[in-house]
Structure 1
Amino acid sequence: LIIKGKYQNPMQKDPVPVEYHLDIQRAPDTGGATAFIDVVANTRYTLHIKEVMEATITAFFEIVDWTSGGGVIVKPDNAAPVVTALNVEGTDADVATKEISVTADGTEKTITLTATASGKVQPKFSTTTGWNIDWLAHDDASYKSEVVDGVTTTTMTFKYTLTAATPYVPVTLTLANESASQDESVYTTLTIVPPATAPVLDFATPDAATGNFNLYDQANGKLTMYKTSKSSITLGASCPFGTKLALSNQLPWLEVSKGKSGPAPSTTGTPATDVPVSTPVEEYYTLMLKDVTATSDVNSKFEIINLGDASKTLELTVELLDPAITTIELTGTTGGAAYNNYKITDVPRTDGSTVEVKITSPQGVTASTLSSWFTVAETAAFTRTTPTDVTGSQTFTLTVKDAVTDFTAAPIVLKNNISGMEDVTVLVSAAAVAP
């Protein structure tokens, strides 16, 4: 007996052709070597297959007189389910398809599938990634399995609601025959494929203490970076197929590194500059400024590309900002003091005299002094007139100490809150002694 077919090795992608030769032999009841036997009429030869491998088959024949007069019913007990009807979002689809593409518009959609097998067919969901696959659900209430014309027929409905432009991972739908072997090679598998999307980015705002005030503006697709030594920004990329970052030749002053770890993803959107995502962040890009003299323009762009579909990209613009203090000026009642070119002159010598200094800058400064005749303290915290202003202002007050006799000129040191900037020194001198 020659049996031909295809064998699905679980370790291989595609089944391979096989051919097995079975000798119809019998061992004498009294013992001895097996010998070929004749195939005779009115005899039932039932082949029982115990094990099938790619190169061998183990089986035996059961031989009995054929007295029933009936036919032969062949009922495979290890067959994969066969899809006989498929409807995707209201449209009938080819039952031979292995990839089912679905749409995303924020409304509930359904897939209805009918499969036949020797027993009930049960669906199972899986994915090779760590992404959540609960976007696809089996509608248990509509599950129906019945015997139609001697064949077990199972109908299943799957529901989902996908949001446009949100990444979802494809789901492997496995149809398992309840009465079949647990060998996955006899399962039927389909892939439910959501629409490909551009990668989405997570941004966790660095702590202000780090001096890193670079930001990702999601609404405008823009990164803002201050022009300081080693100025950098790290973005987390979320895409089930992986991503790559392509720099244009307009950005020779940027250096990019990619890694599998980075800042803890933002989950709350707090502070307001955080940009959280609801999907796994598995890749991180750090962009570092190589040239503090560089300038940016509207063409300072780069792309982050979906490796599963290169047409799905996220384009970002980089804007370089000046980190320097904008203005230093005296405000309020000056008592005759004046400011010019990093010098405050003519500060009154009277005990307790005060001079207010207003400083405008991108992210604020701290002020300190080692002077023996005056102190400096912040009296109005750094604020912006509107949240979108590039700069804000704060006020420091110089106070003359009591009973001072030595009025040697002394500096105030202004330290920029943006890291990488040199300190600014303002020299303070007292008014001349009245004659």
Structure 2
Amino acid sequence: MLKPPADAKPDDPANYIAINANSRYKLRITDVTESNIYSTFEVEDWTSGGGIIIKPDNTKPEFNKFAGTNPPTDLTGGYYRTLADGTFDIVMTSTGELEYSRSLVTKAGDEIDWLTVGTPTTEQKDGLTITTFPVTIADATGKRPVSLTFINQAASYDPDLQTTLTFVGPEAAPVVSEVVKGHSEGNSVDVTSPDAPEATMVKAVGSYVSLNVFCVDGIADITSPTGYSVTEVATEGFMTTYRVAITDAGTAADNATIEFKNKAADSNMVTLTIKHKKASQPSIVANDQTGTFIKSSYNNETLGGTATAATADMYLIDGSTIYVKATCTESAAAGAVTATAPTGVTVTEESTAPGIFKVEITTAASLTAGTPVTVTFKNAADETVISTLEITPKSTKPTVVLADTQNAVTGADGTYTVDLDVLLTNTFTLTVTAPTGASITSLTDPFTGAGWLKLDGDHSSKTSIDAGGNQVYTFTSGDTSGDSNDVTLTFTNSVSGGETLTVTLKKKI
């Protein structure tokens, strides 16, 4: 039988293993690659039946000591604690040349470069090889432990012939991270500031958040604040997942704190602050279901202001209606937002469309045109959190403006006196504007018995006024100057319940 060296070349001479009589040889395969088979032998004496393990040309490397300026200290559990920064030497004793590999103790993480190993030096002493490995530590605080595995090159694939030393940096405050999708609805954890993480929680029994806490030395016993529980959910490596839940909403205080302390040095800790989620201000926006919930035709649903301080105009008529949408972020259910209205106005949430509110002027006489009133929307979870809708009632009454009088007409507000002597060679105009539309029954009947005045030109098409539009009427002296009756023009509002306009023209006597 032969055993080639690990670095043997095809033309190198073979190393033969002597075969002894009365012995049983067992080949144990320890690893197979594309080009090599690695193995050890077990030899049993035929007569005694006893066995010994022969691992040719090597034994397990032995840790000798730490040397240098910053040697680690021995911890229980097979760990060695280093400084945050520094250097030291690892001295190993072996029967042959050594190599090493470096790895994290856990699979997670990439914090391996805080410990680096330089070029080793060797010396021979008493038939053994003394190998010194120079180690450099940099920024080790709070990092995952790193293992150095020392391997006798003659049997590098036999775990029984390997020695592992594991190093951990100084005691550090735990590190908190958020568990993605680990919270009940509406809750969150903010780790933007690692030294002062914050949990935001809805104040309700069963409300919870989850967080990961990393600490190499483990976490000391945790004291739960009154009204809360802190439960260990899972541990993987040096990471523990905790669930913080509200067990009693009545005693669970806002700004409660939970301390996560390093088990090895409890002065190294991080404090989680729990803030109760504040109810959101209702958002007031335009009705987005105009095909289903239909406003009064003369109103528009254009909102001004902001979503928390909106404004709207409504015509001052009994039954005048608009729809708005008012919602909060906590819930889309009916009743999540409530509303209170001033006298003369009602606000009702639509049962088939939560969040859509009907705003109606039920008693116009209770309101004053041009004087705003306020509807208040409240978050049902906390009715001190409000948004407002300011409604300005608008008059529906048509208006009239006198112009081009040539000093023949005086008066205002629809009542005018006409000096016929001045008007004999002149005209004047009245412009009638109707916010919601208006009409006049006749433009001839009002002049019966009042022939001292007439319309100048053809006004036959001006008996109606569109909503928001106007008509201009031009007057001049009539054909019967001896008449003295008043001319009364009545413009009826197009909207039922809307105000009318009466214009009275009097002859100056």
TM-score (norm 1): 0.52
Q: Is structure 2 residue 210 aligned with structure 1 residue 234?
A: yes
Among 343, 366, 372, which residue is 2:295 paired with? Answer: 372
The aligned amino acid for 2:214 is S
Q: Please report how far the alpha carbon of residue 87 of structure 1 lies from its aligned counterpart in structure 2 after TM superposition.
A: 2.1
Q: Please report how far the alpha carbon of residue 184 of structure 1 lies from its aligned counterpart in structure 2 after TM superposition.
A: 2.2
CA distance in 2, matches of 1:205, 1:397: 40
Among 52, 57, 61, which residue is 2:51 paired with? Answer: 57
CA distance in 1, matches of 2:192, 2:283: 24
Q: Secondary structure of 1:246's partner?
A: coil
Task: Please name the residue that 1:118 is paired with.
Answer: 95
Q: Is structure 2 residue 93 aligned with structure 1 residue 170?
A: no
Percent identity, aligned pairs only?
21
Q: Is structure 2 residue 327 aligned with structure 1 residue 415?
A: yes
Counting matched residue pairs gives 293
Compared CA separation, residues 149 and 215, structure 1 to 2 (3 A): closer
Q: Please report how far the alpha carbon of residue 192 of structure 1 lies from its aligned counterpart in structure 2 after TM superposition.
A: 1.2
Task: Please name the residue that 1:100 is paired with.
Answer: 80
Q: Secondary structure of 2:301's partner?
A: strand
CA distance in 1, matches of 2:180, 2:158: 49
Q: Which runs of 5+ in 2 are unaligned?
A: 1-19, 23-40, 288-292, 341-346, 348-358, 366-394, 398-498, 500-509
Among 254, 275, 279, which residue is 1:319 paired with? Answer: 275
CA distance in 2, matches of 1:243, 1:103: 21
Compared CA separation, residues 414 and 194, structure 1 to 2 (3 A): same
Among 267, 285, 294, which residue is 2:242 paired with? Answer: 285
The aligned amino acid for 1:317 is T
The aligned amino acid for 1:301 is T
Among 281, 284, 296, which residue is 2:253 paired with? Answer: 296
Q: Is structure 2 residue 155 aligned with structure 1 residue 161?
A: no
CA distance in 2, matches of 1:365, 1:415: 5
Q: Please report how far the alpha carbon of residue 51 of structure 1 lies from its aligned counterpart in structure 2 after TM superposition.
A: 3.5
Question: Following superposition of structure 1 onto structure 2, how do residues 17-416 of structure 1 map, counting pairs within 5 Å?
Answer: 50-51=42-43, 56-58=50-52, 77-87=57-67, 89-91=69-71, 99-104=79-84, 107=85, 109-131=86-108, 132-140=110-118, 142-148=119-125, 150-162=127-139, 164=141, 167-180=142-155, 182-203=157-178, 211-212=186-187, 215=190, 218=193, 219-227=195-203, 231-240=207-216, 246-248=222-224, 250-252=225-227, 254-256=228-230, 258-259=232-233, 282-294=239-251, 296=253, 300-306=256-262, 312-323=268-279, 361=281, 365-367=283-285, 369=287, 370=293, 372-373=295-296, 374-375=300-301, 377=303, 379-380=305-306, 394-400=308-314, 407-408=319-320, 412=324, 414-416=326-328
Q: Please report how far the alpha carbon of residue 176 of structure 1 lies from its aligned counterpart in structure 2 after TM superposition.
A: 1.5
Tell me, yes or no, if the aligned pair for 1:138 and 1:156 is still in contact at 8 Å. no
Q: Please report how far the alpha carbon of residue 102 of structure 1 lies from its aligned counterpart in structure 2 after TM superposition.
A: 0.4
The one-character-per-residue Cα deviations of 1:88-109 (angstroms, maximum 9, x if unpaired) are 5435989xx96421022xx4x2
Q: Secondary structure of 2:222's partner?
A: strand
CA distance in 1, matches of 2:260, 2:66: 36
Q: Please report how far the alpha carbon of residue 311 of structure 1 lies from its aligned counterpart in structure 2 after TM superposition.
A: 6.6
Task: Please name the residue that 2:6 is paired with.
Answer: none
Tell me, yes or no, if the aligned pair for 1:213 and 1:226 is still in contact at 8 Å. no
The aligned amino acid for 2:117 is D
The one-character-per-residue Cα deviations of 1:340-364 (angstroms, maximum 9, x if unpaired) are xxxxxxxxxxxxxxxxxxxxx3xx6
The one-character-per-residue Cα deviations of 1:203-246 (angstroms, maximum 9, x if unpaired) are 3798xxx7556755745454343436764433233334665873
Compared CA separation, residues 92 and 224, structure 1 to 2 (3 A): closer
Q: Secondary structure of 1:159's partner?
A: strand
CA distance in 2, matches of 1:202, 1:92: 29
Q: Secondary structure of 2:160's partner?
A: helix
Compared CA separation, residues 146 and 287, structure 1 to 2 (3 A): same
Tell me, yes or no, if the aligned pair for 2:147 and 2:166 is still in contact at 8 Å. yes
Tell me, yes or no, if the aligned pair for 2:260 and 2:269 is still in contact at 8 Å. yes
The one-character-per-residue Cα deviations of 1:70-121 (angstroms, maximum 9, x if unpaired) are xxxxx98322223344225435989xx96421022xx4x2231222322111
* More RCO (CA 8 Å, sep 6+): 1
Tell me, yes or no, if the aligned pair for 2:104 and 2:112 is still in contact at 8 Å. no
Tell me, yes or no, if the aligned pair for 2:95 and 2:127 is still in contact at 8 Å. no
The aligned amino acid for 1:302 is I
Task: Please name the residue that 1:347 is paired with.
Answer: none
The aligned amino acid for 2:169 is P
Compared CA separation, residues 418 and 81, structure 1 to 2 (3 A): same
Tell me, yes or no, if the aligned pair for 2:189 and 2:209 is still in contact at 8 Å. yes
CA distance in 2, matches of 1:281, 1:179: 34
CA distance in 2, matches of 1:192, 1:241: 12
The aligned amino acid for 1:233 is V
Compared CA separation, residues 412 and 283, structure 1 to 2 (3 A): farther
Q: Secondary structure of 1:323's partner?
A: coil
CA distance in 1, matches of 2:188, 2:321: 34
Q: Please report how far the alpha carbon of residue 305 of structure 1 lies from its aligned counterpart in structure 2 after TM superposition.
A: 4.8
Q: Please report how far the alpha carbon of residue 191 of structure 1 lies from its aligned counterpart in structure 2 after TM superposition.
A: 1.9
Tell me, yes or no, if the aligned pair for 2:201 and 2:276 is still in contact at 8 Å. yes
Q: Please report how far the alpha carbon of residue 148 of structure 1 lies from its aligned counterpart in structure 2 after TM superposition.
A: 4.8
Compared CA separation, residues 407 and 93, structure 1 to 2 (3 A): closer
Compared CA separation, residues 204 and 92, structure 1 to 2 (3 A): closer
Tell me, yes or no, if the aligned pair for 1:126 and 1:133 is still in contact at 8 Å. no
Tell me, yes or no, if the aligned pair for 2:176 and 2:191 is still in contact at 8 Å. no
TM-score (norm 2): 0.46
Q: Secondary structure of 2:211's partner?
A: strand
CA distance in 2, matches of 1:113, 1:238: 28
Q: Please report how far the alpha carbon of residue 123 of structure 1 lies from its aligned counterpart in structure 2 after TM superposition.
A: 1.5
Tell me, yes or no, if the aligned pair for 1:304 and 1:313 is still in contact at 8 Å. yes
Task: Please name the residue that 1:39 is paired with.
Answer: none
CA distance in 2, matches of 1:92, 1:318: 39
Q: Which runs of 5+ in 1 are unaligned?
A: 1-24, 28-48, 61-74, 262-278, 325-360, 382-393
Compute the RMSD of aligned alpha carbons: 4.7
